[in-house]
Amino acid sequence: MIETINEKKVITTPVTDEDIRSLKAGDVFYLTGDVLTGRDEVHKKTLREAGGFPADLRGGVIYHAGPIVREKEDGSFEMVSIGPTTSMRMEDFEPDFIKKTGVKIIVGKGGMGDKTAEACKELCVIHCAAPAGCAVIGAASVKEISGVYWPELGMPEAVWHLKVREFGPLIVTIDSEGCNYYKEKKREYTARRVEMLSESETK
Amino acid sequence: MSSNQKIVNAVAEYLDHISKVLPDDVVKALTRLRAEEKNKAALSVYDTMFRNMELAEELGKPLCQDTGIVQFKVVCGQDHPAIGEIGESLKEAVIKATKEAPLRPNCIETFDEINTGDNTGTGAPTIWWDIEPGRSDLEIYVYLAGGGCSLPGIAKVFMPGQGYEVIAPFAAERVTEMGLNACPPLFVGVGIGNSIETAAMNSKLALMRDIDSSNDNPNVAALEKELEEKLNYIGIGPQGLGGSSSVMGVNIVNTVRHPATLAVAVSFGCWCHRRGVISFDKDLNYSSKTHTKFAK
Ligand code: SF4
């Protein structure tokens, strides 16, 4: 479901294909609801093991993140700090991960490559970037940690189940038409780099 | 209190502080770049960064969840009374700060692939030593080496015939290929030397220097400026989403080369460049010139 709250575009999970299609590369939005973390090891383990991802991700959100979590005396968890990690490291696994889990929104740092962009187009999925290094703002939007799966992978690698409110700003980097914002930008930067270097040669 | 315990407590407290408060020079650089920024999306990223800095200080939480691997460069006067205890004290300080700040456990024993859980392990924390004759004070440079900003680091030995002109394309390619994911605006450290490790070490030392500082050699200082302008022209902006600049600054540290080699290395710091210097006198009174809010 998408609504506008205080001029912010807010999406609430579970996410539908219609929600996904309404978001275009470069758009900014916020998320409310359930988010699950998963990075390198989680992607590998999900694809390797028959049981797959340890929670239901259909219509859900996977967040490439490795948080700092503090276990409180009563055994519950407190989110100290959370922010995105480089999504590109998951590029080789992401298409199969999407197919196996039915995830709809991937959140991480930076953009992703052609393989993910194609899978996004085929399966109506988006990737978006969260501002990195802004982990306190990230933690403030986590209202509750409702559980942890695969804790044996260690704190940064485990799957943390988060309840978030207005988590963002998230910037759409790959939309469901496969449009890749970072790839376009990278082309621009490379062009300017080449231009800048050829200028200095003629000097 | 034993001198060991004094160093442990002071360094643990300092690690806690630098994980939550950026050094004065970084705040100054970010403030300048934000004021010069014209791109609207980029401005909203800067707003988020500044809001995050405020909240981190207010709530006493680490600015970024990746608190890195702790690296120390110890510059110790030969006559400092605690010289024999520093190494062990630094290790203890890391363990203490990991629990208390808290810092994220980031040390994976290679090949065993086990997270040690306390940010120490084989060769960790990193400690580089300089023993200074005729001095009795102690300076400890502290750096939290995050994964994202360590990733683009690169070093190569060129043939000297290629000249110092190799530096700009070498650094610029790294910025456009890998820099976007290193949380720009970046801080670029260039190291020049005779072999791969001298250049690499110099590039890391360049990141320990103040962003506003210049190399003592005027030719090298000019190259620092030139590189900064060139990289800013590319305009990767904060988070690599595009903007009026790319870098907070460029520092070069250079040592001799061999007649047959020119080694060049580039290390990167992210916008959240958590490094500082804590200085002790011989009685272990301490202060930090990089972090004026670190009171004592
Ligand atoms: S590059 Fe720096 S700011 Fe970005 S996630 Fe890593 S440590 Fe944090």
Q: Which CATH number belongs to the domain containing residue A90 in this structure?
A: 3.20.130.10
Cβ within 8 Å of A, B 224-263: 230, 233-236, 239-242
- Could A133 and B49 be called an inter-chain contact, meaning their C-beta atoms sit closer than 8 Å? yes
The total of structural domains in chain A comes to 1
> What's the maximum distance between 2 C-alpha atoms anywhere in chain A?
68
**ipTM for the whole complex:** 0.88
Cβ within 8 Å of A, B 26-85: 41, 44-45, 48-49, 51-52, 55-56, 59, 61-67
* Per-residue pLDDT, A202: 55
Rounded Cα–Cα distance for residues B26 and A48 (Å) = 43
Residues of chain A with pLDDT below 50 are: none
- Could A193 and B49 be called an inter-chain contact, meaning their C-beta atoms sit closer than 8 Å? no
- Please give the full DSSP string across B52-96, using - where no structure is assigned: HHHHHHHHT--SSS---EEEEEEEEETT-TTGGGHHHHHHHHHHH
Strand, helix or coil at B30? Answer: helix
Rounded Cα–Cα distance for residues A194 and B114 (Å) = 43
- Could A132 and B64 be called an inter-chain contact, meaning their C-beta atoms sit closer than 8 Å? yes
* Per-residue pLDDT, B296: 55
| B83 Cα to chain A: minimum distance (Å) | 34
Cis peptide before A54 (omega within 30 of 0): no
User: Is a pLDDT exceeding 90 seen at residue B23?
Assistant: yes
Question: Tell me, what amino acid is at A83?
Answer: G
Rounded Cα–Cα distance for residues B190 and B213 (Å) = 14
Length of chain A: 203
- Could B48 and A82 be called an inter-chain contact, meaning their C-beta atoms sit closer than 8 Å? no
Chain A residues touching B225 at Cβ < 8 A = none
Give pLDDT tens digits for B91-142.
Answer: 999 999 999 999 999 999 999 999 999 999 999 999 999 999 999 999 999 9
- Characterize A75-87 residue by residue with b for buried, 16 or more Cβ atoms within 10 angstroms of its Cβ, and e for exposed: eebebbbbbbbbb
Tokens representing residue B118 in the block: 């306390």
The pTM for the full model equals 0.89
Rounded Cα–Cα distance for residues A131 and A83 (Å) = 8
Q: Where in the sequence is the domain holding A96, given as residue range(s)?
A: 2-201
Residue B199: pLDDT band (50, 70, 90) is very high
CATH class of B3-20+62-146+274-287: alpha beta
| A192 Cα to chain B: minimum distance (Å) | 5
Residues of chain B with CATH 3.30.1330: 3-20+62-146+274-287
Residue partners of B147: CB distance under 8 A and separation at least 6? A85, A86, B66, B68, B106
Residue B35: pLDDT band (50, 70, 90) is very high
Chain B touched by A12 (CB under 8 Å): no
Rounded Cα–Cα distance for residues B202 and B197 (Å) = 8
